[in-house]
Structure 1
Amino acid sequence: MYLYSPDKIDQERAHHQAVIQGSEDIDVKRIGNLGELAFEQFCREYLPVEMWEWKNEEAIRRCNPESFSGYDFEVFGYEIDVKTSRDVSAFRPANILKNDPDDDIIVMVWHRDKEDALILLGWERTETLKSKVKTQEEYSGEEPEKLAHLSARPMNELHDLGPNTAHLNQKPENPFAPGDRVVKTDDNNTSVAVVVEVLPPEKNKTAFGQTMDGEAVNVAFPEMLDDGPSDWRKISPAKLASYCDDQDIKLYTYKHTNLEQAKEPFALGDYVIKPDYDDPDLAVVVNIDKDEDRDIAVAFLHHLEETVSDDFYRVPNELQAYCDDHDISAYSYESSALELKPQY
């Protein structure tokens, strides 16, 4: 068996992709997505990366509808479908074959009620399941106990279907996650960027098709995100890739070793607080002047909201002018005194 615990990014992506897919049962589709994520992590740890393919990888990463495919993975040339359920009886041979008789292999994934942990119970060839169903149908009388359970092979036997290989752990070494604010390493004048996608290690190609020596990260710059139709700061980092894809916002690809976490991660329009206050008011960055000691100017959100009847939002590069026109006070602070306060 193999245990997988999805993080918040994976949980939100699994859910949002189910919504975008237009599924009749969003809960079932979300859980199915989590099962695929669990099996992908198993493959990454135990199987040679060049010998398996996840058909829905980009669709789930970008929360886009899946292109039609009769199965979820191809492993060593076998068509594999992942079945996820809280009810173990769903993995009885007849129940599986009722919905998926044509795939080569079925992988069975059980999940907790909270969907915070999934266990890969095992896998089985479809032909073996058909044989078991036939045996059950032909047997008259009370079914023996040995036929009542689902025969499933242990997960670690899946690699026996392929060539003889050593144990391979191909999990990403990338330290970044969507939403992180990053800058280019050893570049004092670089602009702050937002991590949108952390690409799988095997997808480390630049826009020009050249193989990158290291894992790739796709970033967007705040001023480009600001050109979109929404306040992207209120969008979960898990959905940023979907948002950028929908709005054709340009992404830039970097090798992850060429990036580092930004020590001063602020951009115009960011929501910030002064964390050393007991109950800090939420503020919005209206100006950045790196030549000044008190380099960040903010306006408090409750002052901005007093000028409008609905939720306040203005294009960030218009904030300073808006404050001037409406006599809204701005207050200056050192970057080190402020902290980002996400609003998603």
Structure 2
Amino acid sequence: MYQYIPDEIDRVRADYQAEKQGAEDKDAKRVGNLGELAFEQFCREYLPAEMWEWENEDAIRRCNPESFSAHDFEVFGYEVDVKTSRDVAAFLPKSLIENDSEDDIIVMAWHRDNEDSLILLGWEHVQTLQSKVQTQAEFSGNEPEKLKHLASRPMNDLQDLGPNMANMNQKPENPFEPGDRVEKKGEADPSVGVVVEVLPPETQIELYGQELDGEGVRVAFPSSLDEGPADWREFDRALLSSYCDDQDISLYTYKHDNLKFAENPFTVGDYVIKPSYSDPDVGVAVEVGEEVTVTFERQLGGEVEPANLKDHCDENEISTYRFEHSVLEFADT
């Protein structure tokens, strides 16, 4: 068996993608997405990356509706579908075949009630399941309960379908996650960017005609994000890739080890607080340099575009305050 514990980004994306898919049963679609994420993590650890493909990877990462495909993965040339359920009775051969008899292999994923943990119980060839169902149908007596078992093979047996490989462990090495504020290494005055997507290690990326040797990280810059129709700072960080894709926000791809976490992560328009205050008011960054110039949100009297904040404060004689960036934190919006 293989256990997968989804992080908050995966949980939010699985839910929002189910909503955008327009599924009749959103809850079932959400847990189905989590089942696919669980199997993707299994493949990443145990199977060579060039020999499996996830059909819905981009759709779930960007929370877009999926293109129709009868199966979720292709592994060693086999069409694989992941079935996810809280009720293990759903994994009896007859139940599986009634729901899906067109693929080559079915993977069975069980989830807890609160969906905080999924376990891949095993997998089986569809032909084997069909044979089991036929045998049960032809059996003339009452089948003993102990024979009504799940016809499944251990997860690690899936490796036997392909070449003899050691544990692959192709999980990402880069330290970044969506929402992180980053800057390019080696620049005297680097611009702060926002991580939008962390690409899988095996993704082939070309920059300026050359293949990128390393893991790719896609970054958007706040000035471009501010031009969008919504306040991107109020979005869950898991949905930034969806927003940028929907609004055609320009993204820039970097090799992960060419980036570092921004020393001063704040940009104009950010919502900030000074946590040392007992009941801090939410402030808005008006200007960012060696220090961060802040005004309080309640003083603005309405929404002001980030690019106009400094002029707005000057013209309306709105008080501003200067702080070292190290004493500020992002406000929870």
Where 2:202 maps in the other structure, the secondary structure is helix
- Cα deviation for residue 218 of structure 1 reads 0.2
Q: Aligned residue for 1:323?
A: 313
Q: Secondary structure at the match of 1:167?
A: coil
The amino acid of 2:322's aligned partner reads S
Asked if the contact 1:231–1:313 (Cα under 8 Å) also holds between the matched residues in 2, the reply is no
Instruction: Tell me the distance in 1 between the aligned counterparts of 2:210 and 2:67.
Output: 26
Q: Output aligned runs, 1:98-137, within 5 Å.
A: 98-137=98-137
String of CA shifts for 1:156-205, please: whole Å, max 9, x gaps. Answer: 00010011112211011011000000011132311000000000001140
Distance 1:154 1:216 in 2: 33
Q: Which whole-Å CA distance do the structure 2 matches of 1:23 and 1:209 have between them?
A: 40
What are the ranges of 5 or more consecutive residues in structure 2 without an aligned counterpart?
Answer: none
Instruction: Report the more deviating stretch, 144-153 or 220-229.
Output: 144-153
Paired with 1:238 and 1:42, the residues of 2 have a C-alpha distance of 22
CA displacement at 1:314 relative to structure 2: 2.1
Q: Percent identity?
A: 63
How far 1:33 sits from its partner (Å)?
A: 0.3
Q: Give the counterpart letter for 1:251 in structure 2.
A: L
Secondary structure, counterpart of 2:130 in structure 1: helix
| Whole-angstrom CA distance in 1 between matches of 2:34 and 2:55 | 14
Counting only pairs closer than 5 Å after superposition, residues 206-245 of structure 1 correspond to structure 2 as: 206-208=206-208, 210-245=210-245
Residue identity opposite 1:71 in structure 2? H
Whether contact under 8 Å (1:233, 1:342) holds in the other structure is no
Residue 211 of structure 2: SS of its match in structure 1? Answer: coil
Distance in 1, matches of 2:3 and 2:19, equals 26
Query: Which residue of structure 1 lines up, in the alignment, with residue 96 of structure 2?
Result: 96
DSSP-derived class of the 2:318 partner: coil
| AA partner of residue 296 (structure 1) | V
Selected match of 1:303 from 283, 299, 306: 299
Among 328, 335, 338, the residue aligned to 2:328 = 338
Q: Which residue matches 1:36?
A: 36
1:229-286 alpha-carbon deviations (Å, 9 max, x no partner):
0000001111000100111111000000011111100101001111211221110101
How far apart, in 2, do the equivalents of 1:115 and 1:174 lie? 27
Task: After TM superposition, list the pairs within 5 Å mapping 1:236-275 onto structure 2.
Answer: 236-275=236-275
Q: Distance in 2 between matches of 1:296 and 1:46?
A: 47
Q: What do the CA deviations read for 1:120-142 (whole angstroms, capped 9, x no partner)?
A: 00000000100111111111232
State how 1:186-205 maps to structure 2 within 5 Å: 186-205=186-205
Q: Structure 1 counterpart of 2:114, which letter?
A: K
1:109 shift after superposition: 0.1
1:329 CA drift (Å): 1.2
Contact 1:206 1:253 (8 Å CA) reproduced:
no
- Asked if 1:277 is matched to 2:277, the reply is yes
TM-superposed deviation, 1:319:
1.2
RMSD: 1.2
Q: Distance in 2 between matches of 1:240 and 1:130?
A: 43
Instruction: Give 4+ residue runs of structure 1 displaced > 4 Å after superposition.
Output: none
- Number of matched residues? 333
Scaled by the length of structure 1, what TM-score is found?
Answer: 0.94
